[in-house]
Amino acid sequence: MSQIPAATFRRPARALPFWLSLGTVPVGLTGALIGGWAVLLMPVYTWGLYALLDAVLGPNLEDADPETPEADLIWYRLITLIWFPVQFGMLVFLLYYVPRADLSALEKIGIFFGQGVMSGSIGIVYAHELMHQKNRAERWLGDLLLASVLYSHFRTEHLLVHHLYVGTPRDAVSARYGQSFYRVFVDVLARCPRSAWRAEAAMLRRRGKGVFDRRNPFWRYAGLQLAMIVLAAVLGGWIGLGLFVYQAFIAIWQLELVNYVEHYGLTRAHLGEGRYEPVQPRHSWNAAQKASNWLLINLQRHSDHHWKPDRRFPLLQNYAAEDAPQLPYGYPIMTAAAMVPPLWRRMMNPRVRAWRKQFYPQIKDWQPYSKGLTPLPKGAP
Residue 118, pLDDT > 70, answer yes
Domain-embedded: residue 377 = no
Domain-embedded: residue 168 = yes
Cα Rg of the chain (Å, integer)? 21
User: How many independent structural domains does the chain possess?
Assistant: 1
Q: Report which secondary-structure segment, H or E, holds 4.
A: strand 3-4
What mean pLDDT value characterizes the chain? 94
3-state secondary structure of 77: helix
Domain-embedded: residue 276 = yes
Domain-embedded: residue 193 = yes
Arithmetic mean of pLDDT, 224-252: 98
Domain-embedded: residue 200 = yes
CA 326 to chain centroid, in Å, comes to 18
pLDDT tens digits for 250-265? 999 999 999 999 999 9
- Per-residue pLDDT, 146: 98
Tell how strand 275-276 and strand 270-272 pair up. antiparallel
- Per-residue pLDDT, 376: 67
Nearest CA-CA partner of 333 in 37, 51, 2, 17: 51
Domain-embedded: residue 381 = no
| pTM, full prediction | 0.94
- Per-residue pLDDT, 13: 79
Q: How far apart are CA 189 and CA 196, in angstroms?
A: 12
Q: How far apart are CA 305 and CA 197, in angstroms?
A: 24
Name which of 228-242, 254-268, 359-373 the model is least confident about.
359-373
3-state secondary structure of 271: strand
pLDDT tens digits for 184-215? 999 999 999 999 999 999 999 999 898 888 88
Residue 378, pLDDT > 80, answer no
pLDDT tens digits for 71-84? 899 999 999 999 99
Domain-embedded: residue 35 = yes
- Per-residue pLDDT, 251: 98
pLDDT tens digits for 280-325? 999 999 999 999 999 999 999 999 999 999 999 999 999 999 999 9
Which residue range(s) make up the domain with 193? 3-371
Domain-embedded: residue 378 = no
Residue 11, pLDDT > 80, answer no
